[in-house]
Structure 1
């Protein structure tokens, strides 16, 4: 939901009539459009289903599995899904009311802050997990000596602190404002000024808006995407060079998490990029907004389900318990050279292996 109401802000600042086709000004609940009703219902259903699924994952990772570096990574990754989903019930009501904010300034700031917190934490964790996998394959001996749960906890604390720092500006920028027909909106006041009509303040808001967008796009999308792709290429090269055989399940789980994140968040960044250009058609903004809301809701509950199905046939999933599937998905598994994959005469694997 973070910056979802940005288009309302642009309507106030620009005064153009084309945005009113996107943001409804009616106060009557009977004027709820079929599209708004359908999207709001989908958001609420996704929230309920996603909360149930992610709660199950957190319970298994936190209570039923041995605490390892791998389970610690994914416990906090799932936790970020829950954190960032806190906005969904408010988003559903906001859409039903014709994009009118009724929850006050405190919730306006808090919800957007937690949405940003979930975004940055998720992408930073995915980058850290990918780096961890690469180092484990590239430097297995070093990783075995230094890859500990206590150090992983410190890294996770650093990730949360970095995300808190990057999300803090929304506690200052976000505010509520009464606009046309007494409608309340929750918008970003980038200039931190109550003078909305001053051309100098409007120009300042536009410059800061562009800066915030670029920082968010670079740090929460483009740079992590390039880094993760580099780690994957490095993993593939090292596995081929060292002729490593491995359990493919954890690698596929990570690949599913990374792919779903970037596919789901691309429309989000495209939508906010369109808000930077006044000449962008309102129909395009409406389409991008609906697409990114729906895809983000899918990301909340579909991505954890992928952890169960990726690398498994449907028949295997039906015959295996959820707990067993989760343990198989998140457990640390071994990577061994292809020449050493055979077991010895007593049925024990060879010892020159490293955990993945």
Structure 2
């Protein structure tokens, strides 16, 4: 429960957090923490190692995608989507070293109030941008199937850029609770970065709990429930249309997007489940929350390096891709929509032309 530290005697735990809103640290006394420090070391080391791996893979993978889609490939609607996804993941990965240092120093926050707020803001910005873009891609491809003529005339990189900008603005607005409620609390032993849902003008427990619940449910609805419903509807329409008209000439773009979407929900659904559980933490086992939160944070962070891997290795058969260079594989995986569109546009009907965008 994200509560002010004045309330620690009334609650069993509160956010601490390397895990940027995800890790509830058990609020034992200082002496008990010292007694448990030895037994918690392996878990802390596991967190540090995993964060370091995610950082390296995420920065390298997304940096490569940014370089390819931003500088080496022709600007298209699809490369605009992929570039924006990679930028969001790259920015998130750049901030992971703050969490690594935080864990290495026994979760003592060294970086002040501004970075306490900013690291949390960046994580949720990445979450919202990623799911909004996946939703927009689903809508884009559904529209291409239902309205092929309109899509051929108006589906342009410039329009995609405007939509991407709108998604970033909306994501930033939905991430502002981190800038408002994130706070630091210092004792003689350590400084903690945590959520303080209390306002100076209102010190009641009930109001803070209501704000916490409102923020958590808003994130869950806006970043999971609504996008999930939209994506399922869009891809159901696409699959039905493809089967009825036998439109698809290549399943690769569909497989790539399906993989990205599945990876996103596998990585982020456990986080939302634990956050909903945390709202009513008194009804759940504290150890499950204590050790489960950092694990779901690892899953959520892993999504930032999974997307580039999906771009590369889902484009064609793995053996064929293995024989190609990394750059050739990535360009082929991300650019096939454009290549197949050109190839089939010379020989097939209007429906066949737009089918390559699916």
Correspondence 1:49-64 to 2 at 5 A: 49-64=57-72
Unmatched segments (≥5 aa) in structure 2: 15-24
Equivalent of 1:192 in 199, 203, 215: 199
Hey, what's the Cα distance between the residues in 1 that align with 2:340 and 2:53? 40
1:334 CA drift (Å): 7.5
* C-alpha RMSD of the superposition: 2.7
1:296 corresponds to 2:304: no
1:145 corresponds to 2:145: no
Hey, what's the Cα distance between the residues in 1 that align with 2:190 and 2:81? 43
Correspondence 1:254-333 to 2 at 5 A: 254-279=257-282, 280-310=284-314, 312-331=316-335, 332-333=337-338
Asked if 1 retains the 8 angstrom alpha-carbon contact of 2:315 and 2:332, the reply is no
Partner of 1:3: none
1:11 CA drift (Å): 6.9
Equivalent of 1:106 in 98, 114, 135: 114
SS at match of 1:349: coil
SS at match of 1:177: strand
Q: Which moved more, 1:154-163 or 1:182-191?
A: 182-191
Deviations 1:116-165 (A, max 9, x none): 11111111111001100111111111100110111111111111111111
Hey, what's the Cα distance between the residues in 2 that align with 1:87 and 1:232? 34
Unmatched segments (≥5 aa) in structure 1: 1-5
Partner of 1:15: 9
1:134 corresponds to 2:134: no
Hey, what's the Cα distance between the residues in 2 that align with 1:255 and 1:306? 10
1:210 CA drift (Å): 0.3
Hey, what's the Cα distance between the residues in 2 that align with 1:71 and 1:59? 11
Deviations 1:86-139 (A, max 9, x none): 331111222233332221101011111111111111111110011001111111
1:27 CA drift (Å): 8.0
Asked if 2 retains the 8 angstrom alpha-carbon contact of 1:173 and 1:189, the reply is yes
Asked if 2 retains the 8 angstrom alpha-carbon contact of 1:244 and 1:335, the reply is no
1:17 CA drift (Å): 7.2
Aligned residue pairs, count: 336
Structure 1 residues 50, 289: closer, same or farther in 2, change over 3 A? same
Structure 1 residues 208, 237: closer, same or farther in 2, change over 3 A? same
Equivalent of 1:154 in 162, 166, 190: 162
Deviations 1:210-267 (A, max 9, x none): 0011100000111101110111101001111222122211111111111111110112
Partner of 1:219: 222
SS at match of 1:187: strand
Partner of 1:349: 347
Hey, what's the Cα distance between the residues in 1 that align with 2:120 and 2:311? 28
Q: State TM-score, norm by structure 2.
A: 0.85
1:12 CA drift (Å): 5.5
Deviations 1:296-333 (A, max 9, x none): 23222223112222253331121122222222222224
Structure 1 residues 128, 80: closer, same or farther in 2, change over 3 A? same
Asked if 1 retains the 8 angstrom alpha-carbon contact of 2:197 and 2:211, the reply is yes
Structure 1 residues 75, 311: closer, same or farther in 2, change over 3 A? closer
Q: State TM-score, norm by structure 1.
A: 0.86
SS at match of 1:275: helix
Partner of 1:249: 252
Hey, what's the Cα distance between the residues in 1 that align with 2:268 and 2:27? 22
SS at match of 2:183: strand
